[in-house]
Amino acid sequence: MKYRRVALIGLGLIASSMAHAMRAKGLAGEIVGHAKSAETRAVARELFCDRVCETAAEAVKGADLVVLCVPVGAMEAIAAEIGPHLAPGATVTDVGSVKQAVVDAVAPHLPESVHFIPGHPMAGTEYSGPRSGFATLFQNRWWLLTPPEGVDPEALSRLRGLIESMGAKVDSMNVAHHDLVVAVVSHVPHAIAYTMVGVADHMRRVSQSEVIKYSAAGFRDFTRIAASDPTMWRDVFLTNKDAVLDILGRFGEELSTLQRAIRMGDGDHLHAYFTRTRAIRRGIIEAGQDTAAPDFGRAVEGAEGG
Amino acid sequence: MKYRRVALIGLGLIASSMAHAMRAKGLAGEIVGHAKSAETRAVARELFCDRVCETAAEAVKGADLVVLCVPVGAMEAIAAEIGPHLAPGATVTDVGSVKQAVVDAVAPHLPESVHFIPGHPMAGTEYSGPRSGFATLFQNRWWLLTPPEGVDPEALSRLRGLIESMGAKVDSMNVAHHDLVVAVVSHVPHAIAYTMVGVADHMRRVSQSEVIKYSAAGFRDFTRIAASDPTMWRDVFLTNKDAVLDILGRFGEELSTLQRAIRMGDGDHLHAYFTRTRAIRRGIIEAGQDTAAPDFGRAVEGAEGG
């Protein structure tokens, strides 16, 4: 059953992509938006919102679906503001990259009469802001939900229906497991990418222009993920601290072992290690989560080498 | 001036791509090949070599250009074998990812009468073997040369001409600087990618199928570079040990600093750090070394998120 009125709070890449997707497929009666910045509101009014409000409280009035699309660090203030204005029976969800911190920040401010179903669309690009959205962003991507125990089944299936209609695949899991999984597949890879780019930035004997010029040899892929929105990523690391530090600790141990094998000249260890990692890559391609085209199918810019 | 006879020793991704490129543009009178494996030789005969020899010594006879395309660890034995059979005035080059180790392994075995100009095409894909080559692999890619002091200018400019005709851009630098630059832009990024994939492989609480399923969130990009040829990468780390350990040491320090900021909840540090890294990404796109299309322009498989 399509939502009568969807309120998007925070109008960046995810919200604008949702709006484009809902419009393209006629999934919402009205799309109302709010963003802190007047400039963003103007872009949203022009490109993808039916109506834009100056406050979040105003935007959620009468909405049967409210989607919190602000950085995780801003969730609590927004929840406190909108809580008293939510329509009874409305569903509230969010698109934050961590879930325990969002539940802690948002749940206490919501009235009993609304259904809170936290969510996390695992989709994005290295771009951000209201102009960066597009209708197919969620196509064939995972959208994780962490519904609380005893959630209203009808509210859950309605939300799930909307997400699937935007092209995404839905999985449900508990909050703690979600935060660990994303630490492994996303947060720590980003931390490492940022660090590698930071190392290159500090080099004196290798110039920045050399790093840029020769980046196709592997470094380049790290810069793409290290170019994502700084505010979002600051909040991710501050709010998923335990899982991230756990995985970073393991990473450090693993790296020390590799470093030792290099120092000792242990070729058998290196060869065995590098062989094992190929299997995971094969699994990813077989699962349809990446293209098997050499170098992601980049055209001429495409190559990479030792 | 086009080479009369080019001998390719080792017939994997690079050699087969060179052969395809030289054939496509008529850059060599005859292309002779040698590989250790009979199966590889059969593929090469069918797909891209005019003639295939059972020994490297046989293959280099009468060639005016010899290209060593074997893993770095195999260079010394090959150089010892071919040294006595090289034609006076021939040019010998290689395509190894490190240069000091290749110079140490090869130069002592070459007669005075040949021109040895080490090289490194910074091009490749995550695939290997004689069937993986294609004519446009070098298009718009860097090919680094580390010519020794006093090199014959005519031999150098002829080699350079061949490389540029295959579509690559040539830069020259000294051997030590080469090995440091590639440690930063290629070898350490690969070491880190292998390590991250290794961490995921060892997790118990997050299943491998979950890692694969949700890999588009960032992890996936690491698996691509961690899927490269294990033998090549073993040799890279064994032979560029000093530069790699130097950069890995810096990486470890930098990662500890980031880890500490996360543990202390230092949001300002994190935000500043993540902002700085965006500039390098911009530089890479401006330099034409990557596509600005979101997510490398991957189609539906394309998205990524926190």
Which domains, ranges and CATH numbers included, belong to chain A?
3-173 (3.40.50.720), 177-302 (1.10.3660.10)
Low-confidence ranges of chain B (pLDDT < 50): 296-305
Instruction: Say what the pLDDT of residue A111 is.
Output: 98
Phi-psi region of A266 (alpha: psi -120 to 50; beta: other; left: phi over 0): beta
Q: How far apart are CA B175 and CA B153, in angstroms?
A: 18
Q: Which chain B residues contact residue A193 at CB under 8 A? A: 218
Q: How does pLDDT run across A211-256, given as a tens digit for each residue? A: 888 887 778 877 777 777 888 899 999 999 999 999 999 999 999 9
Instruction: Say what the pLDDT of residue A225 is.
Output: 73
A241 touches chain B (CB under 8 A): yes
Name the percent of chain A lying above pLDDT 90. 73
Residue A304 pLDDT > 80, yes or no? no
Residue carrying the six token digits 């979040």: A56
On whether the CB atoms of residues B258 and A195 are closer than 8 A, the answer is yes
A207 touches chain B (CB under 8 A): no
B234 touches chain A (CB under 8 A): yes
On whether the CB atoms of residues A234 and B267 are closer than 8 A, the answer is yes
For helices B230-239 and A267-286, the axis angle rounded to 10 degrees is: 140
State the ipTM, two decimals. Answer: 0.82
Name the percent of chain A lying above pLDDT 70. 94
B227 touches chain A (CB under 8 A): yes
What distance in Å separates residue B147's CA from the closest CA in chain A? 19
Check CB contact under 8 Å for B277 and A221.
no
φ and ψ at A121, to 5 degrees?
Answer: -75, 120
Instruction: Say what the pLDDT of residue A302 is.
Output: 36
Q: How does pLDDT run across A120-148, given as a tens digit for each residue? A: 999 877 788 999 999 999 999 999 999 99
Selected residue with higher pLDDT from B281 and A263: A263
Q: Which of residues 156-175 of A touch B (CB under 8 A)?
A: 171
Check CB contact under 8 Å for B274 and A241.
no
On whether the CB atoms of residues A55 and A78 are closer than 8 A, the answer is no
Give this prediction's pTM. Answer: 0.82
Instruction: Say what the pLDDT of residue A11 is.
Output: 98
Check CB contact under 8 Å for B184 and A198.
no
Strand partners, A66: A7, A92
Mutation for A interface: B142, B185, B269, most A CBs within 10 A: B185
Q: How does pLDDT run across A3-38, given as a tens digit for each residue? A: 999 999 999 999 999 999 999 999 999 999 999 999
Check CB contact under 8 Å for A191 and B291.
no
Instruction: Say what the pLDDT of residue A85 is.
Output: 98
Name the residue of chain A whose CA is nearest to B184's CA.
A200
Q: Which chain B residues contact residue A75 at CB under 8 A? A: none
Residue A257 pLDDT > 80, yes or no? yes
Q: How far apart are CA B51 and CA A38, in angstroms?
A: 70
Q: What's the pLDDT band for A293 if we cut at 50, 70, 90?
A: low
Extract the tokens encoding A243.
């899982």
Q: How far apart are CA B221 and CA A5, in angstroms?
A: 38
Q: Which chain B residues contact residue A194 at CB under 8 A? A: 258, 273-274, 277
Instruction: Say what the pLDDT of residue A77 is.
Output: 98
Q: How far apart are CA B306 and CA B302, in angstroms?
A: 14
Q: How does pLDDT run across A86-104, given as a tens digit for each residue? A: 999 999 999 999 999 999 9
Strand partners, A120: A144
Q: How does pLDDT run across B38-70, given as a tens digit for each residue? A: 999 999 999 999 999 999 999 999 999 999 999
Q: How far apart are CA B33 and CA B45, in angstroms?
A: 8
B23 touches chain A (CB under 8 A): no
Instruction: Say what the pLDDT of residue B291 is.
Output: 61
- The beta-carbon neighbor of A189 closest among B205, B218, B232 is B218
Check CB contact under 8 Å for B120 and A306.
yes
Check CB contact under 8 Å for A192 and B192.
yes
On whether the CB atoms of residues B44 and B52 are closer than 8 A, the answer is yes
Residue A300 pLDDT > 50, yes or no? no
Check CB contact under 8 Å for A225 and B218.
yes
Strand partners, A6: A31, A65
- CA dihedral defined by B150, B155, B161, B166, rounded to 10 degrees? -110
